[in-house]
Amino acid sequence: MGHIGFIGLGMMGRPMASRLHAAGSDLIAFDASVAAVHAFGDAHAGAVAADGLPAFAACRAVVLMLPDSDAVEAVVLGRDGVPGLIGVLARGAVVIDMGSSQPLRSRALAERLQRAGLQFLDAPVSGGVKRAIDGTLAIMVGGDAATFTQVKPMLDKIGNQIFHAGPLGSGHAIKALNNYVSAAGLVAACEAVVAGQRFGLDPGVIVDILNASSGMNNTTKNKFKQHMLSGTYGAGFFTGLMAKDVRTALEVVKTTGTSSLLAEPCTDIWNKMEQDLGFTSDHTEMYRYVEGGSK
């Protein structure tokens, strides 16, 4: 599909762009961090390390892997007098937001792009850094079926479970709701392990028993021994991003008139952890946060 643009070379974007490069895509890569762009260019022969958005003029598709809707709108619509992609791309090009943005803002942005003759898909991912490296992410896509079909061969190079979730915004909505379920399960697992330890059990044994029982979840299986009990806290997903996702889920819960019995306190917990440990603490640090007596 010609040149593919990739903007956002952080924890997730860099390995995802690497997969596209390894699969033979002609890549133009950019990030607000000049160091990240140079590091990517140096490690990927033939990829263009862009110094700004004008370099994307010839791209038929541009992937965004940015922190949130604010960053996506800045890149697409422009900010502080710097023109965005909307003024750079040729008619018919598709912008694919693979970060975890807010679904209603994504829909509004898609309408702006459509009025300018451009296409938009929300296509967030799940699976974390490890699955980004392996090319085995789950990808949930919102947008029209024809555009989805057009970009599917490219998505196949990044993920292996790819869903057309529904119309525009559906991908970002289900991504936020998924992370709410994951975030709530993580807090429950941390509280259970700390309480079990204080009751006298060995934490490794607690995790083994949970994993053989009905309390098993993604945290007990893939995070507890690997990142928490090991004390490494290196899952590669910032607390601030998890807190943002849970806030987005609460927005979806509230705007649909759904009960927020658990979503509300869950959001408070992650907001408080972000405030206390900082945006860039790893989200698995919830274990030591609970252990340390956060109320």
Whichever of 67 and 215 has its CB closer to ligand NAD, that residue is 67
Report if residue 99 touches ligand NAD, rule: CB under 6 A.
yes
* Token duo for residue 23: 């699969």
Strand bridging mode 137-142 / 125-126: antiparallel
Whichever of 41 and 67 has its CB closer to ligand NAD, that residue is 67
What's the helix, strand, coil split of the chain in %, to 5?
55, 15, 30
Report if residue 161 touches ligand NAD, rule: CB under 6 A.
no
Residue sitting closest to ligand NAD (CB): 10
With contacts defined by CB under 6 A, name the span among 61-69, 106-114, 152-160, 186-194 that binds ligand NAD.
61-69
Cα separations (Å) of 164 from 19, 45, 50, 139, 192?
Answer: 21, 33, 31, 9, 36
Whichever of 128 and 143 has its CB closer to ligand NAD, that residue is 128
Rounded to whole angstroms, how far apart are CA atoms 280 and 276? 11
Contact pick of 4, 5, 6, 8 for ligand NAD (by CB under 6 A):
8
* Residues tagged active-site: 175
CA 173 from chain centre, in angstroms, equals 12
Strand bridging mode 61-64 / 94-97: parallel
Contact pick of 4, 20, 71, 189 for ligand NAD (by CB under 6 A):
71
CB of 67 to ligand NAD, least distance (A): 5
* Residues composing the chain: 295
Contact pick of 129, 138, 181, 229 for ligand NAD (by CB under 6 A):
129
Phi-psi category of residue 209: left, alpha or beta, with phi > 0 → left and psi -120 to 50 → alpha? alpha
CB of 24 to ligand NAD, least distance (A): 23
Cα separations (Å) of 101 from 173, 194, 211, 283?
Answer: 9, 33, 32, 18
Report if residue 173 touches ligand NAD, rule: CB under 6 A.
no
Contact pick of 113, 125, 273, 290 for ligand NAD (by CB under 6 A):
125
With contacts defined by CB under 6 A, name the span among 26-34, 224-232, 266-274, 286-294 that binds ligand NAD.
26-34
- CA dihedral angle for residue 216, residue 163, residue 28, residue 236, rounded to 10 degrees: -10
Contact pick of 17, 75, 121, 206 for ligand NAD (by CB under 6 A):
75
Whichever of 149 and 161 has its CB closer to ligand NAD, that residue is 161
CB of 105 to ligand NAD, least distance (A): 13
CB of 15 to ligand NAD, least distance (A): 9
x/- binding map, residues 203-242, to ligand NAD, per CB under 6 A? ---------------------------------xx---x-
* Token duo for residue 130: 């490890």
Report if residue 159 touches ligand NAD, rule: CB under 6 A.
no
Rounded to whole angstroms, how far apart are CA atoms 56 and 34? 16
Contact status, residue 139 vs residue 164, Cβ threshold 8 Å: no
Contact status, residue 59 vs residue 1, Cβ threshold 8 Å: no
Report if residue 16 touches ligand NAD, rule: CB under 6 A.
no
Residue type, 217: N
Residues that bind ligand NAD (CB under 6 A): 7-13, 31-33, 36, 65-68, 71, 74-75, 99-100, 125-126, 128-129, 236-237, 241, 245
